[in-house]
Amino acid sequence: MAKFRLGIDLRLYGAEHSGLGRYSAEILDALLRYGHDLDIVGFVDSYSANKEKLAALGVAIIDAPYRPYSWQEQILLPSVIAKAKVDLVHFPHFNVPLTYGGPYVVTIHDLIMHHFPWRTTSQRVAPVFFMKHLAYRATVRRAINRARAVIAVSRYTAEDILTYYPQVAGRLKIILEPAPILGSQSDMKLGVSRDLKRSVPEVVSGECRDDKDILLKYNIGRPYILIVGNLYPHKNTRTVMRVWQRLYPLAKRQLVIVGRLDVFARRLYNEALTLGLVYDSGESPVRFLGFVGDHDLRQLYRMAEYYLNPSLLEGVGLTGLEALAMGTLVLSSPNGPLPEIYQNGATYIPVDNEEVMYRALYKIFNRQVNTTRPEFKESYNLKDVATSLENCYYEVLRSKE
């Protein structure tokens, strides 16, 4: 087939956008390394710090200064895409503009908001939240119904999509995510919320050369347990806080939390403060670090006694894959696709309520349970991703002819 122009929505590209950002980076990396006969056009936020990096990689940059989930995205982004004259667009997330009528492929990572339509998942007042939830459902439904192909990142997600949208069966593709390799980008200054200043260093910069440096830099004691990622309610970290209040006096393990300092992090921090888990000085039972660059994050993974994923439901659980790739023992929820993704690389613990989680972690920390990790074998690599994506794109383009 002749060379074609592929547009990719890269407004959520990069580690600062957590799982979605890493996914965008991974599929782009796969296509740039192993793709054939395609020119890649990236729709990028005008203020993105990644523009120069993407241009240096050979991506044709198109400014798309429209915040995801905004009305500008819905009304203005389609005309920007049309002017780029691409043959096909890949949207790595469900937020396809309702007014976009061109051919596209969309990735659906999960339908968590279908399962947990709680108002606590938003900072909005109730009427606004319910309106936004209706808009979310409409956007997902239209994105799936109009897509030439829908990509699910796990078999679990594919089955979930078919439960809600059985009409997509003939267009549904399962393309697994590879075990991510953390990049070497420089650490970024942490944006510190007023509520978090007692727990989070105001400026964290530079790269640590050894284990002692990283512990001093972030005021961490060993052994510690690590959680990385967004702190949405379905991540179940409020239950973890209550468990840690009981567990810390007995197990003496610090809980280190890495993730964006947003409204959900503030809520969790305030809960930890109320439970007496955050101190003004000295070693707190819980440490909130905010966003951490990949160089330091590698060391934090490597030095952690365990990585903990207590989620009630996940799309893929990329941070657990990162931990496994760094050789870290993983304690994981058995919910959703996580056993499919982590396979026998993790020890699975019950997380549905405080008591069962407490008992499981107490036994593990007191060596009553064997958590020796079998060798984790990456089941899907960048070359596999590139091949699967290209096959999907070509199938869509051939169907247009």
| Domains 4-178+381-400 and 194-365 agree in fold | yes
Whole-prediction pTM: 0.80
Residues 277, 287: Cα–Cα separation, whole Å? 9
Asked if the model's pLDDT at residue 181 lies above 70, the reply is no
Element (H, E) at 379: none
Residues 180, 71: Cα–Cα separation, whole Å? 33
For 34-58, write each residue's pLDDT tens digit.
988 899 999 998 777 788 889 998 9
What pLDDT is recorded for position 155? Answer: 94
What pLDDT is recorded for position 333? Answer: 96
What pLDDT is recorded for position 211? Answer: 77
Please say whether the beta carbons of 306 and 162 come within 8 A. no
Q: Which two tokens stand for residue 261?
A: 């300092």
DSSP of 295-358? HHHHHHHHH-SEEEE--SS-S--HHHHHHHHTT--EEE---TTHHHHHGGGEEE---SSHHHHH
Asked if the model's pLDDT at residue 193 lies above 60, the reply is no
For 103-129, write each residue's pLDDT tens digit.
999 999 999 888 877 544 455 556 766
Q: Which two tokens stand for residue 114?
A: 């279908």
Class of domain 194-365 (CATH, top level): alpha beta
The CATH code belonging to domain 4-178+381-400 is 3.40.50.2000
What pLDDT is recorded for position 123? Answer: 53
Q: Which two tokens stand for residue 119?
A: 């108002």
Asked if the model's pLDDT at residue 186 lies above 90, the reply is no
pLDDT classification of 267: cutoffs 50, 70, 90: very high
Tell me the domain boundaries of the chain. 4-178+381-400, 194-365
Residues 105, 92: Cα–Cα separation, whole Å? 8
pLDDT classification of 150: cutoffs 50, 70, 90: very high
